[in-house]
Structure 1
């Protein structure tokens, strides 16, 4: 029996799964397997509807009705899949910030004109000065 996840350390992290994958299977492999299984289930549904239409002598109205029922089942499948994934992991607030604009952190000529170098931390000038080399 699988063990439940520990509580998330990041309040922005949410999980749709409540169990840990089997030992020896990473979360990424479990996600890939789930995606493959869902894709095969959807393909099976489409092929089944196509087989059903070709094997039975249906009128045009019955063919349209069969495809409508198949489409409705596919819609329900995709809706349930989306709802199951809605609680999946979310990027933290730092992942939502735009990348920094401007020069990278480093020593630059002091913009105050002191003749020294001042440390730029990537967002603002610090009070740290260094004589030029």
Structure 2
């Protein structure tokens, strides 16, 4: 009886379906959370993403529920088109709110700074991209 069930295509389809559902649940539950545990780590990762022009890495740090990929792509493209160099990011407290200050050098040599608001939710720090340099 058991060998007959093992040969049945229906048995294999059911087992495949169960395995597929388990795989999807495991992928969703093991997905890394967006953001970082500390605001200093967030500043470091934003710097790395902007220097490498990596919109995928930057999208993981964006606080937007939808449109994070597009916002990250626009931010990275804006920095690349502006031709900025010497990008560095630090955290600072302004009027009681933590934000990131992204400092950079423009092609003509002048320094620029871009302030990005941060969001602290569920123990994770993320940032909200705003206007470009």
Please give the TM-score of this superposition, normalised by the length of structure 1: 0.30
Bigger-Rg structure (1/2): 1
| Greater fraction of residues in strand | 2
Please give the TM-score of this superposition, normalised by the length of structure 2: 0.30
